[in-house]
Structure 1
Amino acid sequence: MVMVKTPVKPDQLKPGKKAPDKETLLTPRFYITDFEAAANLSLTEQETELNAMLTEMRNDYNRHHFMRDEEFKTGNWDHLDETTREGFIEYLERSCISEFSGFLLFKELSRKLKGRNPILSEMFQLMARDEARHAGFLNKAMADFNLSLDLGRVTKTRTYTFFPLEWVIYTVYLSEKIGYWRYIIIFHHLEKHPEKQFYPIFKKFENWCQDENRHGDIFTALLRSQPKLWDTWKARLWSRFFLLSVFATHTLTVHERASFYESLGLNATEFDKEVIKKTNETSARTFPSVLDVDHPDFYPGLQRCSQRNLKMKEIGETKAPKFWKTLRKIPLIAGIVVELFRIYLIKPIDAEALRGMVK
């Protein structure tokens, strides 16, 4: 894994533009990958499925969905309390950066593969189209609160992380599928509790999450087209590693922003558990091995990681010298690493053996 920082001259932000949150291990990352390996992918084993998905993507079922209707144009959200407002803006920013990251990666893959792997090139172009819509829609939502991100500037200041193509396939698949479950669970919850729907973007989540689902299915086909990504002992280890990485990140970020979920009437811990459980079940249709999230040590282990992370956040917000804050964080970081290793060692579920039984 290589971290590449694109240099940029410091300049003043324009009025109404928000400086992106400081990059941490938990913030969405920007990725580059091995484009040569992508161009040389053999799609023979999943060519029929990929062509069917390409037709579906061309149909562009959501082309009229991301429109700002009267509810956006005439709404007033001055009544939101400061905690809800700040939590929501943070949620919008994180989601916008994540979608924009996908746009940049897919756009570059499409450009690099043009003329060499036409099916994948067009597929990535259409996924980039979707991600750009999502990012733009989220950024306009931030503008309703008199803030927005200068996404052009973000491309020049963000750290770009190199991931091998195999890692990209695993992580993007999980990002899309966990995104689907996050959106649909919030949507159905607010259907039952419309009094908690304080902003109209949540009404868009049902159709929106279908984009995430389609993208995830495309990466399912890519993964299953490469036997080394599912039919080897290494693939079983990597599958569990990336599942745990994504689930741990989700648990830590959800509990860091518990007040936002509370403003929607959701319990952060229960929301986190449901998203993880559903994503794990979905991943069993794609990955050779998944985590045993029903094991009695699984969620308590993630909760202990979250508690340590919140403690580190408290330490980081103190006025103590930087070196002292670092020293205080070391045992907490070590505790998180040990806890995650214990969870990783929990006996996994053999998804390949259950392939015909998975709903």
Structure 2
Amino acid sequence: MTDDLGFKLMRRGVKVAAKESILTPRFYTTDFDEVDDIFNLEKNPNLPMEELTAMLEEFRKDYNQKHFVRNDGFHDAADEIQGPMRKIFIEFLERSCTAEFSGFLLYKELGRRLQKSNPVVAEIFTLLARDEARHAGFINKALSDFNLALDLGFLTKNRTYTFFKPKFIIYATYLSEKIGYWRYISMYRHLQRNPDNQLYPMFEYFENWCQDENRHGDFLTAVLKARPELLNGLEARLWSRFFCLSVYITMYLNDHSRSAFYGALGLNTTQFNRHVIIETNNATARVFPEVPDCDAPGFWDVMDRMVGYNEKLIAIDRSEAPEFLKKLQKLPYTERILAGCLQLFFMPTLRSGSFDIEGAGSYQY
């Protein structure tokens, strides 16, 4: 069955999850035995346990325990969002809920698997999972204001899980937490300055919400620093550059395909995305040994060209052409996006990194 907006329903009030693609939030799994080796105290006696124990105490305080209490304005605000914007906003909520829930599942499993080898780190991951579950539940409740919800239990069992090696999981989750922080705080500050654009009360919660993201990022920073091989050498620099670009390009293409949503908040999609990427890149440069140079000549020109190619792909998807013809029509644009990714990868970069990892040679531009 479908609802009035054209969303497919599993049953009344429960939305079928959006079709997975390379740009949609993914569910991840990893080699948990290798993760156990990374955090095993017997095998790694030099882990910064004093710092990690201090972080655990910080997470136990649970500053946002009472923050996510809905006010009376939610349901009325949802009723005010009608027309094409209603569908766009529901899609935003679904993507956000799926991303938070994905983090919950990964962190929960890491917490369970590490209980014997490193109880401190295991509890931190469990508390990260607590935060992500709270965020996902809050967003899913917001979906119910629009008479929809996601069946998160069904998603857990039926979503495709992407395998990443543990070191890739660490790079990717660090970046997702950092870019999440800058997205939330930038949106929050903009709406505080422009209250007339406050489309929905959920945005009022973003200041404290993004502090959860920041604490998660700080923990993952400590994890990265505890594994010098992830921050030293040519391989570490190449992977750092790769994951930065993967996250930045994904956000840039995704958000530009939904410019109407950001326009409704009074945001210019391009300006907002560039700001978030630059701030994330600056923060990441304090840890990663190498990051893209967003000021390199042509960097944003390539990003904008890929936005145009992605718009062509979306238009082809929405056409009524047969599937085999759609695949043929997509090929040249897909190849151009891949070529753009390669061009960005080989553009000038910034040598960066933490002083306590690389010493005085860090931050050489």
What's the TM-score bracket when you normalise by the shorter of the two chains? over 0.9
For the 8 Å contact 1:111–1:121, the answer to whether it is kept is: yes
Q: 2:46 maps to which residue? A: 44
Corresponding position: 1:114 with 2:115: yes
Q: Compute the displacement of 1:355 (Å).
A: 7.9
Q: 1:70 maps to which residue? A: 72
Q: Compute the displacement of 1:200 (Å).
A: 0.5
Matches within 5 A, 1:324-335: 324-335=325-336
Change (3 A) 1:355 1:274: farther
Q: Compute the displacement of 1:232 (Å).
A: 1.5
Q: 1:163 maps to which residue? A: 164
Q: 2:23 maps to which residue? A: 26
Amino acid at match of 1:283: T
For the 8 Å contact 1:284–1:355, the answer to whether it is kept is: no
Q: Distance in 1 between matches of 2:144 and 2:45?
A: 42
Q: 2:262 maps to which residue? A: 261
Matches within 5 A, 1:141-220: 141-220=142-221
Amino acid at match of 2:239: W
Q: 2:288 maps to which residue? A: 287
Give structure 1 regions of 4+ aligned residues with deviation exceeding 6 angstroms.
353-358
Q: 1:278 maps to which residue? A: 279
Alignment equivalent of 2:32, drawn from 30, 35, 39: 35
Amino acid at match of 1:128: A
Which blocks of at least 5 consecutive residues in structure 1 are unaligned? 1-11
Q: Distance in 2 between matches of 1:192 and 1:22?
A: 36
Matches within 5 A, 1:93-112: 93-112=94-113
Q: 1:226 maps to which residue? A: 227
State the number of aligned residues: 347
Change (3 A) 1:76 1:241: closer
Amino acid at match of 1:222: V
2:162 counterpart SS class = strand
For the 8 Å contact 2:351–2:363, the answer to whether it is kept is: no
Amino acid at match of 1:35: F
Q: 2:41 maps to which residue? A: none
For the 8 Å contact 2:263–2:269, the answer to whether it is kept is: yes
Q: Compute the displacement of 1:76 (Å).
A: 4.1
1:349 counterpart SS class = strand
Q: Compute the displacement of 1:255 (Å).
A: 0.5
Q: Compute the displacement of 1:21 (Å).
A: 0.5
Deviations 1:102-141 (A, max 9, x none): 0000111111111122121101100000000000000000
Q: 1:315 maps to which residue? A: 316
Q: Distance in 1 between matches of 2:154 and 2:112?
A: 21
Q: Distance in 1 between matches of 2:13 and 2:73?
A: 22
For the 8 Å contact 1:285–1:355, the answer to whether it is kept is: no
Provide the TM-score with structure 1 as the length reference.
0.93
2:11 counterpart SS class = coil
Q: 1:300 maps to which residue? A: 301
Q: 1:8 maps to which residue? A: none
1:320 counterpart SS class = coil
Amino acid at match of 1:271: F
Matches within 5 A, 1:82-93: 82-93=83-94
Q: Distance in 1 between matches of 2:348 and 2:57?
A: 40
Which blocks of at least 5 consecutive residues in structure 2 are unaligned? 1-8, 39-43
Change (3 A) 1:76 1:271: closer
Q: Compute the displacement of 1:266 (Å).
A: 0.3
For the 8 Å contact 2:177–2:217, the answer to whether it is kept is: yes
